Amino acid sequence: MSAYSTDMRAQGFHVLNYFNVTEFGANITYPAPPAKNENDPILWKDPNDFLHDRLEDAVLKTPAPIWTWGKGVIMDCRDPTYRGFLLEQAKRHVESCRIPRESASIAWIG
């Protein structure tokens, strides 16, 4: 994302980076597939493993998950674990300047 923002700025465009706090992942599988390794420190690299191992309680269901684009799922930001995850992501985004060339950043709560 940083390279994209830098390239767009060089062409005279501004980039708006955002993350949508009400949606999670892509190509999510329900029911949960067999976990690859729940003790893996890079569990976050597989959205299915991370979701089902760490954030399952935050998935909104009726009783099946509520799907969004790309087979992502709708999440409940009131869930304490998910809320903590989101706050940590926002903190990293702001404090670390991981995307230094953007013109603006927002979190979408819709």
Q: CB of 48 within 8 A of CB of 28?
A: yes
Residue 92 has pLDDT above 90, yes or no: no
| Separation CA 85–CA 101 (nearest Å) | 24
DSSP 30: S
Residue 105 has pLDDT above 80, yes or no: no
Q: Quick check: pTM over 0.85?
A: no
> Tokens 């890079």 sit at which residue?
42
Residue 72 has pLDDT above 90, yes or no: yes
Residue 33 pLDDT grade (very low, low, confident, very high; cuts 50, 70, 90): confident
